[in-house]
Amino acid sequence: MNRGILVALLAIAPLQLQAHHSVALNFFDEEITLVGTVRDVRWVNPHASFEFEVANDDGTVDRWVVELLAVVALQRRGFNFDAIQDGSQIEMTARVGYRDHTLLFTGALLPDGTIVTRTGAPPE
């Protein structure tokens, strides 16, 4: 897991809080990429979410809470719900949250090459 990235982001948090007020104010703008397993998906409003388990080289497992858009937004934008299920192995891009162990889902690559975007729109 990229703990170094997390530390760097937290170190510049005051600047980020003032400078970046885009769609999700609770998350840094920078994205990270993690490979892991989806657990306990909850398709709810105002934020769908799941837990994400990332196995480290040293045998430890990091766990994250990953937020998505509201399920009503995902439904109306045509999100690929089948791609994110309990047990899914994905390579996920996400923005790190200001709260510990939180991420904002921005996209995922499935083992079969399927690309899942944050909103369900086709990948650019």
Partner 1 sequence: MKLKAGCDFGALLPVGLILAVGCQQAAKAQPNLEGIWAYEARPVYSTPQYTPEGQRRVDSYDVLTDDPSYECIPSGLGRAWDEPDTAVKIEQYEDRVVISYEMFDLVRTVELNKNGHPLQPEPSTVNIDGVAMPTMGHSIGWYEDDELVMETVGYDAGYVTTLRQFPPQSEAIRSLERLRKDGEDRLVVEIAYVDPLTFTEPLTATHSYFRSEFDFIVYGCIPGHRELSD
Residue in this structure with the two tokens 């399920």, named with its chain if needed: 71
- Residue 84, CB half-sphere, CA atoms under 13 Å: how many? 30
- Check residue 65 for interaction with partner 1 (CB under 8 A): yes
Instruction: Quickly count: other Cβ atoms within 10 Å of residue 79's Cβ.
Output: 22
Size of interface with partner 1, in residues (CB under 8 A): 27
**How far apart, in whole angstroms, are the C-alpha atoms of residue 40 and residue 31?**
23
Considering only residues 30-49, where is the footprint of partner 1 by CB under 8 A?
A: 40, 42, 44-47, 49
Residues that bind partner 1 (CB under 8 A): 17, 21-23, 25-26, 40, 42, 44-47, 49, 51, 63-65, 67, 69-70, 72-73, 76-77, 98-99, 101
